[in-house]
Amino acid sequence: MEEISNTQQQILNVGKKEFLEHGFKGASLRQIVKQAGFTLGAFYGYYQSKEELFDALVKETADYIIVFIQEIYDEVKMYPSKERAGHMMDCFARRLPEIVDYLLEHSEELRLLLMKAEGTRYETFFETMAAISEKNVGENILWISRQNMTFRLLIHAYYRLLIQVVLGGGDRESVLKAMMDIQSFFYYGFQYFMKEENEQ
């Protein structure tokens, strides 16, 4: 456990607020330390750069999400190769409440990560998330060929919807309800896809 001094906690709090308000590039270190009641010099005692502060705010959440997605695909892989496609949505659905809870608790970090990270190494975080899916689907769910751009895009869309619902600001119940609906929507949609592919 790293010790976090009051000063550092202040900087983190105000930093989060300012990054949320103005984005990484738009936020001013001067403003942050001023509001936190410290000086620029103090800041550089804790972080080596503006980006390092952003990182500190966001890293844990980013890592969690990446691991979480990978875990889902690991579960999918436990089915026999041919059944994987059919179970993919199940696996996602099963762990939906868990990830929703986590994201609701870290919604500010999520927003930073996905909407305020331009100029940091997270500016392509969404694509990174999607790339994990593409990799796993391509390697393991064979009949969905990796070239199938449409499928990739629908995965993107699914993630984006999940995020939007969480960031939309509703309570846990309505967020879960919306995601269940979307899940069903996607389930029906995918039926069409699997039929199509089988016919070809």
Partner DNA sequence: GATGAATGAGTGTTCATTCAT
Partner DNA sequence: TATGAATGAACACTCATTCAT
Q: Which residues in this chain contact DNA in the complex, by CB under 7 A? A: 5-8, 27-31, 38-42, 44-46, 48-51
Taking the complex as a whole, how short is the minimal distance between the CB of residue 156 and DNA, in angstroms? 31
| Closer to DNA by Cβ: residue 25 or 160 | 25
| Closer to DNA by Cβ: residue 25 or 146 | 25
Closest by Cα among 66, 67, 60, 58 to 23:
58
Tokens of 178: 């919306």
**149 contacts: CB under 8 Å, gap ≥ 6:** none
Taking the complex as a whole, how short is the minimal distance between the CB of residue 119 and DNA, in angstroms? 10
User: Quick one: what does residue 122 bind among DNA, a second copy, none, with the CB cut-off 5 to 8 Å set by partner type?
Assistant: none
| Closer to DNA by Cβ: residue 13 or 31 | 31
Q: From CA 11, how far away is CA 42, in angstroms rounded?
A: 10
In this structure, are residues 88 and 44 in contact, taking their beta carbons and an 8 Å threshold?
Answer: no
Place of tokens 């699997």: 194
Taking the complex as a whole, how short is the minimal distance between the CB of residue 78 and a second copy, in angstroms? 27
Interface residues with a second copy (CB under 8 A) are: 23, 25-26, 118-119, 149-150, 153-154, 156-157, 160-161, 164-165, 168, 170, 174, 177-178, 181-182, 184-193, 196
Closest by Cα among 56, 58, 24, 25 to 43:
56
User: Quick one: what does residue 30 bind among a second copy, DNA, none, with the CB cut-off 5 to 8 Å set by partner type?
Assistant: DNA
Taking the complex as a whole, how short is the minimal distance between the CB of residue 53 and DNA, in angstroms? 8
| Type of residue at 53 | L
List C-alpha distances in Å: 171 to 53, 104, 107, 157. 29, 9, 12, 22
